[in-house]
A and B are shown apart, each in its own frame.
Chain A
Amino acid sequence: MYPRKFSYVAPNRVEEVLTLLRKYRDEAKLLAGGHSLLPMMKLRIIGPRLVIDLKNLRDRLAYIRDGARVVRIGALTTHADIELSRTLMRDIPLLPETARWIGDMQVRNMGTVGGSLAHSDPAGDWPVAMLALDASVTIQGARKRTIPLSRFLKGPFTTALKPTEILTEIVVPKPPKGHGWSWKKFERRAGDFATVNVAAIVVPDGRGRVKNVSIAIGSVNPTPYRAVNAERILRGKRPDAGLLDKAAEMAAEKAQPSSDLRGSAEYKKWLTRVMVRRALEEALSRAGITLEMTQHA
């Protein structure tokens, strides 16, 4: 299968990319890892006239920089770079674990975190994990801006990026030391996109209670979402099994999945509840919080 004909260029500088984008706008497409773009071009879902390959910008835009409060990740950093990063394994283990479950080894060697976020697939894994971590993205156009990911993801395959802009960096706040985390991706077969994917972060208060919690859910809505109601009822509590059930139920309420090859809407909604429940249990346990035992007398 061949894509439609196009012209190809691989600039050495971000400024050159921006100049080309301003000139060709919607007719140009950026190529990062190409693992969403090329399949779409081969199936002729899209047919850009100009492909701007970012491969020569890897020196500038592929990095994992450890700061005091945040980790900065360059847009061209591959899934494999994140999967194998010692810094991230130590400080934000949710990220290497998310990477590990994306596609397969070959896909992870090519695909980039920036490409994934810019692509904004409703079943993509990075949007979910990054949303749970309150990440922001830096966008370079005529000027530079940094916005929260929640304002960047606008809908299925739709983001706040203008045709003349490029995503350059993801800024991830480090959760406090001792936080608990969980990544629950339910896939029908190895390497598939998620049926439901859930990320959870639990920050303990040091006295066995939940100080803070975030729960992000993907694949069951046009864009991933934070289960804010469920988060609210857990804050300040030492949960028991009943409260976890309740939180999982509330988290799944907002899910509006559609029936497709991966299952019926009803099944996916139930699955969301189950996966949130499991994610919470795992994150709580990693945060050193034991469940309050309920009395059955």
Chain B
Amino acid sequence: MPRRMTRRARPRATAEAPQETVPVRVKINGVEYSHNVEPRLLLVNYIRDVVGLTGTHVGCDTTHCGACTVLVKGLRGDSWVAVKSCTLLTTQVDGKEVLTIEGLAKNGELHPLQKAFWENHGLQCGFCTPGMIMSALGLLLRNPNPSREEIKWGITGNLCRCTGYINIVKSIEAAAKEMREKGITI
């Protein structure tokens, strides 16, 4: 359950004995969370195991498959960027905003990317899909009208073992069109 923000002390460096926990405050899908976490807690484990949002998947745990991709705001200026949450410490996003697959649908209506994946057969088993969609969103926020080649380039960090990618690229193309026409971003 989301907990109310609490005031917290600045983390102190005490390398003599490893710190047990550090306080973090993160906004995920618009909800503020604050917890005391081990410094080594990876963002993906924070999202899944502490906050309980299991839509973000762990595939390889070695920065290759992209299943764990989420968007973070506040890393590069004020824009949302796609990152692999298995390769970030939770503390790296302290004070920042995170968007996961659960945050895309609005008022019971799917985001154009989710709809397009459904309509264009952009998924089979669905394991890669949350990461694939978050990468696609990261790409479209930067480049709302990408060519097929640019779409392929944008998802090189996401592996799919089922679809053969063709329908994924089609889905992203269709979603990009709808997002442009309706002026939808996130």
Q: Does residue B32 face the partner (Cβ distance < 8 Å to A)?
A: no
We find that the number of chain A residues with CB closer than 8 angstroms to chain B is: 41
Q: Which residues of B contact A50 (CB under 8 A)?
A: 13, 15
Kindly supply a per-residue 1/0 record for chain B positions 26-59, scoring 1 wherever the CB is within 8 Å of any chain A CB and 0 otherwise: 0000000000001110100000000000000000
Q: CA A70 – CA B158 in complex, angstroms? A: 37
Give chain B's interface residue range (CB within 8 Å of chain A): 35 or more
Q: Interface of chain A, helix or strand or loop or mixed?
A: mixed
Q: Which residues of A contact B98 (CB under 8 A)?
A: none
Please determine whether B40 and A2 come into contact, CB atoms closer than 8 angstroms: yes
Residue A147 at the B interface, CB < 8 A?
A: no
Is the CB–CB distance between B63 and A39 below 8 Å?
yes
B129 at the interface (CB under 8 A from A): no
Cα distance, A52 to B11, chains bound together (Å): 11
**Of B38, B61, B88, B154, which is within 8 A of A34 by CB?**
B88
- Chain A residues near B12: list those with CB within 8 A: 9
Decide if A143 is an interface residue (CB 8 Å cutoff).
Answer: no
Instruction: List the A side residues contacting B66 at CB < 8 Å.
Output: 104, 106
CB of A270 within 8 Å of the partner chain? no
- Does B144 belong to the interface (CB within 8 Å)? no
Interface residues of A in 192-236 (CB under 8 A from B): none
Stretch from A20-28, A166-174, A285-293 that touches the partner? A20-28
Minimum C-beta distance from A19 to chain B (A)? 10
- When chains A and B are docked, how far (Å) is the Cα of A3 from the Cα of B45? 13
Provide the residues of chain B in CB contact with A35, threshold 8 Å: 63, 87
A10-B11, A38-B89, A80-B76 as given contacts; A103 in contact with B18, CB under 8 Å = no
B15 touches A107 (CB 8 A): no
Contacting pair A80 B87 (CB below 8 A): no
Whether the Cβ atoms of B40 and A4 lie closer than 8 Å is yes
Choose among B19, B39, B64, B142 the residue with the greatest number of A CB atoms under 10 Å from its CB: B39
Name the distance in Å between B63's Cβ and chain A's nearest Cβ.
Answer: 6
Interface residues of B (CB under 8 A from A): 11-15, 17-19, 22, 38-40, 42, 61-64, 66, 69, 75-76, 81-84, 87-89, 91-92, 94, 135, 138-139, 142, 153-158
Known A-B contacts: A5-B38, A107-B63. Give 12 more (CB < 8 A). A7-B39, A9-B11, A24-B15, A27-B15, A28-B15, A38-B87, A55-B92, A104-B66, A105-B155, A106-B135, A106-B157, A107-B84
Can you list 13 contacts pairing A with B, beta carbon distance less than 8 Å?
Answer: A2-B42, A5-B40, A8-B22, A9-B12, A34-B87, A38-B89, A84-B142, A105-B82, A105-B135, A105-B154, A109-B138, A110-B75, A110-B83
